[in-house]
A = this chain, B = another copy of it.
Amino acid sequence: MKVVKFGGSSLADGEQFEKVVNIIKADQTRKVIVASAPGKRFANDIKVTDLLIEFAHKTINKEDCSSTVKTIWSRYHDIAAYFQISEQLLQPLLQELIALPKADYPNQDYLMASFKAHGEKLNAQLLTLVLQNYHLPAYFLDPQEAGFMVTDNANDTQVMPETYKNLEKWSSRDNVLVVPGFYGITKDGLIATFSRGGSDITGAIWARGIKADLYENFTDVDAIYAADPRIITHPHAIKVMTYRELRELSYAGFSVFHDEAIIPAIEGQVPINVKNTNHPDLPGTMIVPEHDFHPQSIITGVASSSHFAALYLHKYLLNKEVGFTLKLLQIFYKFNISYEHMPSGIDDLTVIFDKRQFNEQIRQQMCFEIQQALQPDQLEWFDDYAIIMVVGEGMRNKIGVMKNITMPLAQKHVAIHMINQGASRISIMLGTKRADAAAAVKEIYQQFFK
């Protein structure tokens, strides 16, 4: 039994829908189909989810929504027309879209969640109609009916533990179950969505729930690559990798798969197959449990991300000052700032942040409070910080990996500002200036893959 998730570009128009139908038809074990909202059809296209967000804002501001609704509906209507679905069958979907502003919402957050979720909800219903048109036993399964229960956080929800039990009983149904991704139902019967791109999470939860043999994740790339194709031309496609490797690479910008989505798959030990809707015969990338994996190379991938900043503190006897770190963590907590890493020396501490949490005012206020409370001898802020992750199960207990990373960087005069090795056994984390990140990835890739 397989759970199959199709991304937004796989369900963007009639032609893409046809590929999806063929994929579903080709394998009867494809039991649960998770649908995303229609994505981009061409580079400058607007995703339906973004149109729905616009629709929600206009509703909140009591602006005229008619042109937005028309644009949204045209996306579904065009797909339906491709398959000659009758207007009569389509009417309920249009009514549902139009009715969105009229419903009661406890607050604007839930209004937003409900509007956004309908990108998936309408598309799943449309896909059901299309599959039925091909005489497949498709059944649209609403999250409410399925028992897909989530927490009260309207736009960044989490799955509730009872969901897994509720989903399990659906595995015995004969239908092809078509479920909308991205959202679930709160205990008050309200729609709440995962973070953006959350259909990956929905699929993983279903895969764990029905104890699937495989979770197929169809997207628009042939495989997960060992490096970013924008940096390395024709990078090596990864055939098999572990859950852990994917998590480490996701952290530094590998965005093929939502980084929270892997957790239910791990908990259920369901392997994931990332495949391309446009080339379904290619093997794609398998993501498997650690015990099923025998590394063929030292490193599996290298990634970089430049949305980091670093705070450097120097104070003599810092490592003897009990509570120094605790005070610092309390200040971060007060400003609702989370830190990523905190390498410490004898009298020094560097704190690395995801800098998207800051604006200039918060940064200044936080630094001011740290100065007041901890009285460091030195406090410096570095704004252009990139993190490079070199990841591979194959580097466990392997000697000389660090040499092979640092040697080519030294030859190309790339300065390494931070190295964090030893936290994870399957990765090495480097810090460089933002401007050096691409060169570093290039050199490391060449060293291990050429």
- Which A residues lie at the B interface, using CB under 8 A? 244, 247-248, 251, 260, 262-263, 266, 316-317, 319-320, 322, 325-326, 329, 333, 338, 340-350, 397, 399-400, 402-403, 406-407, 409-410, 413-425, 427-429, 431
Contacts and interface: CB of A to CB of B under 8 A. Distances in A.
A357 to B, nearest CB: 13
Nearest to A263: B316
A266 to B, nearest CB: 6
A416 B402 contact: yes
Nearest to A325: B329
Nearest to A329: B326
A421 to B, nearest CB: 4
B403 A407 contact: yes
Given A343-B423, A420-B420, 5 more contacts: A244-B347, A247-B346, A263-B317, A266-B316, A346-B427
Contact of A343 (B251, B262, B341): B341
B399 A413 contact: yes
B406 A345 contact: no
Nearest to A417: B422
A410 B266 CA distance: 34
A417 B424 CA distance: 10
A319 B348 contact: no
The 3 closest A-B pairs by CB, nearest first: A418-B422, A400-B410, A345-B424
A320 B403 CA distance: 31
B420 A248 contact: no
A431 B419 CA distance: 13
A416 B420 CA distance: 12
Contacts of A424: 345-348
A59 B419 CA distance: 54
Nearest to A424: B345
Contact of A344 (B248, B341, B345, B348): B341
- Chain A interface mostly helix, strand, loop or mixed? mixed
Contacts of A260: 317, 320
B397 A343 contact: no
12 contacts: A247-B346, A247-B347, A262-B316, A326-B333, A341-B343, A343-B423, A350-B422, A350-B423, A400-B410, A407-B407, A419-B422, A420-B420
A415 B429 contact: no
A294 to B, nearest CB: 20
Contacts of A350: 422-423
A436 B248 CA distance: 29
Nearest to A412: B399
B431 A345 contact: no
Contacts of A414: 399
A287 to B, nearest CB: 14
Contact of A345 (B400, B415, B420): B420
B427 A421 contact: no
A420 B244 contact: no
Contacts of A419: 402, 419-422, 428
A304 to B, nearest CB: 15
Contact of A346 (B251, B317, B342, B416): B251
Contact of A415 (B317, B329, B399): B399
A342 B325 CA distance: 11
Nearest to A407: B403
Contacts of A343: 341, 343, 420-423
Contacts of A406: 400, 402-403, 406
A196 to B, nearest CB: 16
A127 B248 CA distance: 65
A329 to B, nearest CB: 6
A338 B329 CA distance: 16
Contact of A429 (B345, B413, B416, B428): B345
A364 to B, nearest CB: 23
B319 A340 contact: yes
A345 B399 contact: no
Nearest to A410: B400
B317 A338 contact: no
